[in-house]
Amino acid sequence: MRSVLLFTLLTVATFNNLLAQKFSLQLQSMVDAENAFAKFSKEKNMRDAFLANLTDSTILFAKDGPIKGKQSWVDRQPSTNLLFWWPVFVGISGNNDMGFSTGPWQWSESKESQPVAHGYFVTVWEKVGSEWKLAADIGSPMPGADASAAALHSSNPMGKAPKGKDVKGLLIDIDRKYNDQLRKDGALYKSESFSKDAMLKYPRAFPDYFPFESKSTLANADFKSMGGDMSTSNDLGYTYGTVSASIQDNNSLVPYTANFLRVWKYENNGWKIVIEVVSGNG
């Protein structure tokens, strides 16, 4: 059983790596970092894999909201659980110092057992010296394995990036105004604010690519921005925060709290969301 499971995981990762050869050297190096991260988790343990890729400022997401999460992994003990994942959608900034990666993850009680939990991850990568490290990372469970997972592809910023000393602050302000508009309209998202190749991932649901078709599990969502960061080329950034909402549970709506992470890219003279993921505690 173990050999079948590992062969399947390695086959998926190898297939995606072959497709990734079409990427720029810089983007390929980020994809390689993602795959090396997953390989470390598979061959050793996920605690040490995370600690090898986190910095003191990496944003992770806990029950009570976003945190600087390295200490939470320092406090854990290594386990025999297997967490494995692979990228299917990636992108990189113009200065090649920030990028994003998303794809399926699966969790098993051990290397010898079949996966019992599935989801999608979103990682924002940043260059620290010559190495890729996690700037932010979030995972969102889904009902089962994603049989229709996309082949590895990319989406990068387009057009002339905005200039200025506080483009990071500008992006966070754009994020807050977007949340205000959602609140005013009673909407979960506004399609016109998304890139044409964007991905949405909501709790208890499979990922959905633009134009979005899946019905969301959430209702009455209220997004609150808490922070973010920007590439040095001012064309790729991310924002994050908390969500208060309702979710379908046994044919009724119940209160639900969650976190969100958005990746924004500059294209066609404006900011567009290329990734949005919402992840809660159930």
The token pair at 221 is 């969502």
Position 213 confidence tier, pLDDT thresholds 50, 70, 90: confident
Residue spans of beta strands (DSSP E) within 93-144: 98-108, 117-128, 131-142
Where a domain ends, among 130, 154, 178? 154
* CA 213 – CA 17 distance, rounded (Å): 29
Please tell me the pTM assigned to this model: 0.90
* CA 129 – CA 115 distance, rounded (Å): 36
Asked if the structure places residue 172 within a domain, the reply is yes
* CA 204 – CA 278 distance, rounded (Å): 10
Q: Do residue 144 and residue 248 come from a single domain?
A: no
Where a domain ends, among 112, 131, 154? 154
Asked if the structure places residue 162 within a domain, the reply is no
| Type of residue numbered 203 | P
Q: Give the number of domains in the chain.
A: 2
125 vs 251, residue with greater confidence: 125
Indicate which CATH number applies to the domain containing 242: 3.10.450.50
pLDDT above 70 (res 217): yes
Mean pLDDT of 152-171: 88
* CA 139 – CA 128 distance, rounded (Å): 23
CA angle 127, 129, 135 (to 5 degrees): 30
Mean pLDDT of the chain: 89
Residue 175 belongs to what domain range?
A: 167-280
Q: What is the pLDDT of residue 281?
A: 63
Asked if the structure places residue 242 within a domain, the reply is yes
Q: What is the pLDDT of residue 159?
A: 85
Q: What is the pLDDT of residue 282?
A: 52
Place of tokens 């297939």: 15
Where a domain ends, among 131, 154, 177? 154
Q: Do residue 245 and residue 274 come from a single domain?
A: yes
Q: Do residue 26 and residue 132 come from a single domain?
A: yes
Q: Do residue 124 and residue 193 come from a single domain?
A: no
Q: What is the pLDDT of residue 5?
A: 41
Q: Do residue 9 and residue 126 come from a single domain?
A: yes
